[in-house]
Amino acid sequence: MHERPVTPVDDPPRRLYADQGVADRLFRGVLRGGGTLVLAIMLLVGGFLTYRAWQALSVAKWGFITTETWEPEGGNFGIAAVLVGTILVALVAIVFAVPLALGTALYISEYAPPRIRQTLISIVDLMAAVPSVVYGLWGLFFFQGKVVSLSRWLATYFGWIPVFEVDGADPRDPLATATVYTSSTFIAGIVVSLMVAPIICSVMREVFSQAPVGEREGAYALGANRWGMIRSVVLPFGKGGMIGGTMLGLGRALGETIAVYLIISPVFTIQPHILQNGTSSVSSLIALRYGEASPIGMSALMAAGLALFLLTLVVNFAASSIVARSRSGAASDS
């Protein structure tokens, strides 16, 4: 080696430089191009939705959020009814799905014998991949007939709670037809809950299984039994994943189309009575009306789709930021 100069003055910091070569630069270019292409597609979808929705939004103004009817040709349309319907279906779904998913996730990660654990995980993952039309069929042809008696019972004894009220049903009339209880938010929500429960369950199970072994054994060493260990280690550790998984399921429930479309009978008024026949959701509105839409009608449907997209977007981002910020740090892939 040669002598270093004594004075550090003429030793400027060197420029770090790696010769990448033509192939590598080309490769980077291709990668960058692929990323840009995907970004362009995504921006195009969002931008086009917004652009086309603008026409309808500028006609309807703020009335778009508060109007219940859907008559775009007459300029009188809004998403109040369908948005409320969507949210109610999703809430019913979450109310049923979360306890089931939580129980199943705890069962698989804590209670199930290790031999069958992998099989159970595969079954739950498979259920998350079952097409929604299959759940819709089950709900339409099997479940709807069975759940009517439960609806009737709830409406009879808990009808004083506003949500469970059913107009036009007389519980004292034994010959009353059951049609007032069919095609309701309640039934659609339960069917959607079965769809989203596997998704929620697999996120929760993933997080629970990551609870540190040292802390588990510490809890046992301090004399906790299994439930004590779960309550003091597994559940606090998995709290972020539980909330994140729930919101992920909520996002899916909000966007669900076919299972809801098959079951509900559409009405365009705000229907807060979840047991009663008739409700609506944004996605089933689109599926129902896209065919006959005039340009302004199309634009209005775009606006409804945009509103739904924004809703699921907010829910999903909240979910992933909660999961990422929590201690669990597990990925929340759907």
Q: Minimum CB separation from another protein for residue 32, in Å?
A: 6
- Within positions 94 to 153, which residues make up the interface with another protein, using CB under 8 A? 99-104, 106-108, 110-112, 120, 122-127, 129-138, 140-142, 146, 149-150, 153
Site for another protein contains 35 (CB under 8 A): yes
- CB of 235 vs another protein, minimal distance in Å: 11
The C-alpha angle with vertex 306 and arms to 301 and 310, in degrees rounded to 5, equals 150
**Residue count, binding to another protein (CB under 8 A):** 96
Q: Position of tokens 């026409």?
A: 55
CB of 257 to another protein, least distance (A): 4
38 binding another protein? (CB under 8 A): yes
What minimum distance in Å lies between the beta carbon of 190 and another protein? Answer: 10
**Given the complex with another protein, which of 212 and 228 has the nearer CB atom?**
228
Query: From the CB of 269, what's the least distance to another protein, in Å?
Result: 22
Phi-psi category of residue 254: left, alpha or beta, with phi > 0 → left and psi -120 to 50 → alpha = alpha
When the beta carbons of 50 and 269 are compared against another protein, the nearer one is: 50
Choice from 89, 188, 196, 201 touching another protein (CB under 8 A): 201
* Residue 156 touches another protein, criterion: CB under 8 A: no
Q: Which of residues 294-313 bind another protein (CB under 8 A)?
A: 298, 301-302, 305-306, 308-309, 312-313
For position 175 contacting another protein by CB under 8 A, the verdict is no
